[in-house]
Amino acid sequence: MGHLSYKITRLVPEQRMVCMDLLPPFAYSARRFFVPNAAAAIVHDMNDPIPLKGGQFSAIFCSDAFHYVANKQELASEFMRLLRDDGVLAIPHLHNRLQYNPVPGIPLSPDEYAKLFEGFHVRLYPERHLVDAYLNDRPLDLSVRYSDDELNGADAMVLVASKAPNAFRVLPRMRQRLQEAASNPRVSGLYEMRRSNGHVVFRRKLTDSLKLEYPRFVEVLPEQVTIDATHMHHQGNRVRFEDEPELLRQHVLVDVPEEY
């Protein structure tokens, strides 16, 4: 959640955010390392009512968490209560009860998720719909509708809900914009960097659990990237590279806050 939230705020830095998590270390880490411009970090059990005033958020982002909450109907109602009339709720990487997952939580089927938001505008997409748009740097079409069979067969989904129907439109492509906005590229934690015979070698390191839950990692992240050692230099206490845009494109480098 944290890294993606930071990437979003790189494009809309004027937005004020609130980080929320069940455990104090996670809530602290989200604000301290990933979303430094957040207005607050709140420790809270999402099974209980959220202690915030309604109608004040333009966006709510809940990644890889909703399926672990037991009281999903209450949480869905709370999310919609907090949204402004023009606000949007996005729940990416939502586990599907109809498909295997190594750490499933308490997932629902696509239809069961949608019914939690009856009375509002809601749409679900296979996770690949958003991932492919990002990887290919294409506009993201939220106006598309998927069949029940397509949703039921998805390992993970993305749910978007809103009080207004205009949320479901074509959004601008983002990948190139995020790369251009990067101000503090660092070597990803999913890569090990070492020197070898005048070269710098980045080797992918993925745990078995990550490969199981996110199988496209091996497709998206190159197993090994090698550059000439002369293309790496130190700038103060930071390591910099000559072709940082390309390394960002390959996700060998990721953009992180200065405090990371």
Q: Given a cut of 60, is residue 4 above it in pLDDT?
A: no
Average pLDDT for 200-211: 94
Model pLDDT, residue 9? 43
CATH code for position 61: 3.40.50.150
DSSP the chain: -HHHHHHHHHH-TT--EEEEESSHHHHHHIIIII-TTEEEEEE--TTS---S-TT-EEEEE--S-GGG-S-HHHHHHHHHHHEEEEEEEEEEEEEBTTS--SS--S-B-HHHHHHTTTTSEEEEEEHHHHHHHHHTT--EE-S----HHHHHT-SEEEEEEESSGGGSSEEPP-HHHHHHH-SSEEE-TTEEEEEETTEEEEEE---HHHHHH-TTHHHHS-SEEEEEGGGEEEETTEEEETTHHHHHHTTSEEE--TT-
Could you tell me if residue 201 is inside a domain?
yes
Model pLDDT, residue 12? 44
Residue predicted with more confidence, 174 or 33: 174
Q: Given a cut of 80, is residue 11 above it in pLDDT?
A: no
Looking at the DSSP bridge assignments, the partners of residue 36 are none
Q: Given a cut of 70, is residue 150 above it in pLDDT?
A: yes
Residues 171 and 227 in one domain: no
Average pLDDT for 19-24: 93
Q: Given a cut of 60, is residue 236 above it in pLDDT?
A: yes
Lowest-pLDDT range, 8-22, 27-41, 125-139? 8-22
Question: pTM of the predicted model, to two decimals?
Answer: 0.87
Model pLDDT, residue 260? 75
Listed residues 178, 213, 232: the one ending a domain: 178
Residue 6: pLDDT band by 50, 70, 90 thresholds? very low
Could you tell me if residue 14 is inside a domain?
no
Report strand pairing: 17-21 vs 83-95.
Answer: unpaired
Listed residues 178, 199, 223: the one ending a domain: 178
Could you tell me if residue 19 is inside a domain?
no
Question: Which ranges of 196-235 does DSSP label H, i.e. alpha helix?
Answer: 208-213, 217-220
Residue 238: pLDDT band by 50, 70, 90 thresholds? confident
Could you tell me if residue 231 is inside a domain?
yes
Residue 15: pLDDT band by 50, 70, 90 thresholds? low
Model pLDDT, residue 36? 83
Model pLDDT, residue 137? 94
Average pLDDT for 27-39: 86
Q: Which domain holds residue 129?
A: 45-178
Residues 164 and 194 in one domain: no
Model pLDDT, residue 237? 84
Q: How many CB atoms lie within 10 A of CB 189?
A: 10
Residues 126 and 144 in one domain: yes
Listed residues 178, 206, 228: the one ending a domain: 178
CA distance 111 to 151: 9
Residues 169 and 52 in one domain: yes
CA distance 115 to 97: 15
Q: Mark 207-220 as b/e (b = at least 16 C-beta within 10 Å).
A: eeeeeebbeeeeee
Q: Report the percentage of the chain scoring pLDDT > 70.
A: 94
Average pLDDT for 27-40: 86
Average pLDDT for 142-154: 98
Residues 59 and 172 in one domain: yes
Average pLDDT for 123-133: 97
Q: Given a cut of 90, is residue 246 above it in pLDDT?
A: yes
CA distance 209 to 171: 32
Q: Given a cut of 70, is residue 73 above it in pLDDT?
A: yes
